[in-house]
A and B are shown apart, each in its own frame.
Chain A
Amino acid sequence: EAQVTQNPRYLITVTGKKLTVTCSQNMNHEYMSWYRQDPGLGLRQIYYSMNVEVTDKGDVPEGYKVSRKEKRNFPLILESPSPNQTSLYFCASSLKGGDYEQYFGPGTRLTVT
């Protein structure tokens, strides 16, 4: 089954404790992206990747890091999480980005206390 998976689905952590949210797709897509969803703000893009070893900042990259060492994986790293990073995070992939359909993972709900 074609899908985007994210882990963990739920995470509660404390300020400053480094964490990684994994994202994997099995569709051989070149493009992958991370979004955060907050009430009243919709979805905002954090980082995206056009292909292996090629990443770029989205609209809200501060406090996040990403890497794309393999085509299927695109982990999101929070080196020192803060409470304002409490949010619902979505990973997405698409064949090439742009006007190609994006396929979304189920989301990761992160709470930073």
Chain B
Amino acid sequence: GNSVTQMEGPVTLSEEAFLTINCTYTATGYPSLFWYVQYPGEGLQLLLKATKADDKGSNKGFEATYRKETTSFHLEKGSVQVSDSAVYFCALSGAGSYQLTFGKGTKLSVIP
């Protein structure tokens, strides 16, 4: 079946540091890939997505590129802010599937 593996957290960074959160997946065919973010006390919200190989999703300074050859979708941001402190979830939707499979989440804390 489909699965998503994210780097273990928590991750603590200083403001303006570079962020990478690794995500790899297992799926048949060509899934769609997502990053969702959960701010404290809230539900998840879509951060970015990519639906085919080599696509780059981007939003709010975050980027992730769909790499079919390495089955990866790593999340990056060049300069994090305190307001980016949240839990980040990588997810996939299998080709032709109605379901979304999530990774376990990575908690990011950004300190001033």
Question: Within B87-112, which residues are at the interface with A (CB < 8 Å)?
Answer: 89, 93, 96-105
Over the window 65-84 of chain A, the binary record of Cβ atoms lying under 8 Å from chain B Cβ atoms (1 yes, 0 no) is 00000000000000000000
Check A98/B96 contact, CB under 8 A, given A41-B104, A43-B89.
yes
B26 in the interface, Cβ–Cβ < 8 Å? no
Interface size on B, residues (CB 8 A): 21
Q: Are B96 and A99 in contact (CB under 8 A)?
A: no
Q: Given the complex, which residues of B lie within 8 Å of A103, measured CB to CB?
A: 45
Over the window 31-48 of chain B, the binary record of Cβ atoms lying under 8 Å from chain A Cβ atoms (1 yes, 0 no) is 010001000001111100
Give Cα distance in the complex from A42 to B106, angstroms: 9
Question: Within B35-89, which residues are at the interface with A (CB < 8 Å)?
Answer: 36, 42-46, 49, 51, 89
Q: Are A99 and B43 in contact (CB under 8 A)?
A: no
Check A90/B49 contact, CB under 8 A, given A31-B98, A43-B89, A48-B98.
no
- Of chain B, the residue at the smallest CB distance from A58 is B99
Q: Are B42 and A98 in contact (CB under 8 A)?
A: no
**Which one, B98, B102, B103, contacts A97 given CB within 8 A?**
B98
Min CB gap A85→B, angstroms: 19
Q: Given the complex, which residues of A lie within 8 Å of B89, measured CB to CB?
A: 42-43
Q: Given the complex, which residues of A lie within 8 Å of B43, measured CB to CB?
A: 4, 90, 92, 104-107
Q: Given the complex, which residues of A lie within 8 Å of B105, measured CB to CB?
A: 42-43
Min CB gap A37→B, angstroms: 8
Give Cα distance in the complex from A35 to B93, angstroms: 15
Give Cα distance in the complex from A41 to B105, angstroms: 8
**Which one, B32, B45, B103, B104, contacts A98 given CB within 8 A?**
B32
Most chain B beta carbons < 10 A, residue from A40, A50, A58, A98: A98
Chain A interface (Cβ within 8 Å of chain B)? 4, 31, 33, 35, 40-45, 48, 50, 56, 58, 90, 92, 97-99, 101-107
A-B pairs with lowest CB-CB distance, top 4: A104-B43, A99-B32, A42-B104, A97-B98
